[in-house]
Amino acid sequence: MNCLVIDDNKIARTTMRQLVSQVPDLAYAGEASDATEAASLLLKGGIDLLLLDIEMPGLSGIDLVRNLGEKRPLIIFTTSKKEYAAEAFDLNVVDYLVKPVTPLRFRQAIEKAREWQQASQLESSTAPEGFLFIREANTVKRLEVAEILYAEAMGDFVKLHTAQKYHIIHNTLKAVEERLPASLFLRVHRSYVVQVGKIDAIRDGALVINQTSVPVADAYRAQLNRRLRIL
């Protein structure tokens, strides 16, 4: 796992480099003193993990994570301030380390990052008709694709509805749609992707799935009708 250290404090960067050197199979890929320099290094690729300070001149660590988008490395915040923890975890980061960071606490965070990386790799290699691994809060869970009735966009989150409950994940509906098999699922609205085989009825121009009404946008109606083969 290749990690990049981002911190405006030179002593803090040196400390992180020493901690990295004590963990097997964790490679120190470089360092940056601010978010702008870090962004340039990230463009070169090959970074799996960011050890990221929060309070830095110019762009903060939290702002950097927001700007990186979905295709970003794993994030572990390393900061002297505790008050950013709630905001940081809302960004779906691996861990939040408060300085001074002990070797034990650092290794625990790295192990958690390895688990996240392994889960992501397993998800990528999974046949789409089988199951997905989703990250919900601080837990990675297995979800059977067949159980998903429909996916609903909610700002920066997506709600995956099943017959019993729903799961909220931090992602875009477009990214979720790309992970779901097109043979089973169909976009019917800018905010909804449904499993066609779970549609119970069409009433007043909307779909009925598990006693819930799902809207259909005019732009998707013709494609839906072709898939349903209405007689």
Check if the beta carbon of residue 161 is closer than 8 Å to that of residue 114: no
| pLDDT given at position 123 | 52
Q: What is the pLDDT of residues 72-106, one digit of tens each?
A: 999 999 999 999 998 888 888 999 999 999 999 99
Mean pLDDT computed over 149-171: 93
Q: Which of 124, 139, 164 is the last residue of a domain?
A: 124
CATH of the domain at 222: 2.40.50.1020
| Residue 109 sits in the same domain as residue 15 | yes
What residue type is 202 in one-letter code?
I
| pLDDT given at position 208 | 96
* Residue 226 CA neighbour count, 13 Å, CB half: 6
| Residue 27 sits in the same domain as residue 56 | yes
CATH of the domain at 43: 3.40.50.2300
Q: Which of 83, 104, 124 is the last residue of a domain?
A: 124
Instruction: Look up the domain containing 50 and give its range.
Output: 2-124
| pLDDT given at position 121 | 64
Check if the beta carbon of residue 184 is closer than 8 Å to that of residue 174: no
| Residue 120 sits in the same domain as residue 147 | no
Specify the number of domains making up the chain: 2
Nearest to 31 by CA among 17, 46, 48, 11: 17
| Residue 179 sits in the same domain as residue 221 | yes
Please name the residue that has the structure tokens 């119970």: 200
Nearest to 158 by CA among 176, 133, 182: 176
DSSP 59: S
| pLDDT given at position 89 | 81
